[in-house]
Amino acid sequence: MRTEKLIDFGWGAPRDPSKILHPKSKIRRPFGLFALMLGVLPLTASAQSISFEDLSERAGLTTEGSGHGASVHDFDGDGWDDVFITVSQGASALFRNNGDGTFTDVAAEAGVAVVGSYNTALWGDVDNDGLVDLFLGRGASGDNKLFLNNGDGTFTDVTATSGLDLAIPVATAAFGDVDGDAGHLGRL
């Protein structure tokens, strides 16, 4: 018996689930696109029955170079999950979700269009102001970066004063409240 679950991740209108896993329900953050990536296999009784359709070009989710990492979060607080993609060559991309199944690259306007080889993008409120900030971990080139969210769709590069080691390559990263002070992110 085949079972399917329809889930809306803010990408647009639901489609026939036999054609693509891109459904409609009330599940929202903290699941977002991450839940889609983790939950694909458990959603059907047979993994052989899963099919996908590449919507990246139609949705506006394309970059120059090879994508190395992606991080999903609603950085602008409009209720739609946005996507930051790190690339091996060229500028990284910050895709603002337009709420209609399409995205717009706003990295240059937001001040986060970094060039270099970056492996990791990570969202977290590092200054505890209620706004999600962005850390970029370098790969083969570039410097590790930390951007504070200004709350107006732009970010400020605070790398120089952050205390980050700029030259250490980063394969993965996580934020955490290591001293138990109720949510103040103390370490990267």
Greater model confidence, 26 or 59: 59
Burial class (CB in 10 A: 0-12, 13-18, 19+), 71: buried
pLDDT-derived band at 127 (thresholds 50, 70, 90) equals confident
CA distance 31 to 55: 20
pLDDT mean over 55-65: 85
pLDDT at position 68:
77
Distance of CA 82 to the CA centre of its chain: 6
Maximum pairwise Cα distance, the chain: 58
Overall average pLDDT of the 36-50 stretch: 53
Q: Does 71 have pLDDT greater than 70?
A: yes
* Residue 50 confidence class, pLDDT cut points 50, 70, 90: confident
Convert the pLDDT of each residue in 9-20 to its tens digit. Answer: 444 444 444 433
Would you place residue 47 in the very low, low, confident or very high pLDDT band (cuts 50, 70, 90)?
low
Q: Helix, strand, coil proportions of the chain in percent (round to 5)?
A: 15, 25, 60
For the chain, the residue count is 188
Among 17-31, 42-56, 98-112, the range of highest mean pLDDT? 98-112
Task: Write the pLDDT tens digit of every residue in 137-167.
Answer: 888 777 889 999 999 999 999 998 888 777 8
Q: Does residue 111 register a pLDDT over 80? A: yes
Mean pLDDT is highest, among 10-14, 22-26, 99-103, 117-121, for 99-103
Q: What percent of the chain has pLDDT over 70?
A: 68
Long-range own/partner contacts, residues 39-46 (CB < 8 A, 24 or more apart)? 39/7, 43/3, 43/4, 43/5, 43/7, 44/2, 44/3, 44/4, 45/1, 45/2, 45/3, 46/2
pLDDT score of 179 more than 80: no
| Global pTM value | 0.69
At residue 109, the 3 state secondary structure works out as: helix
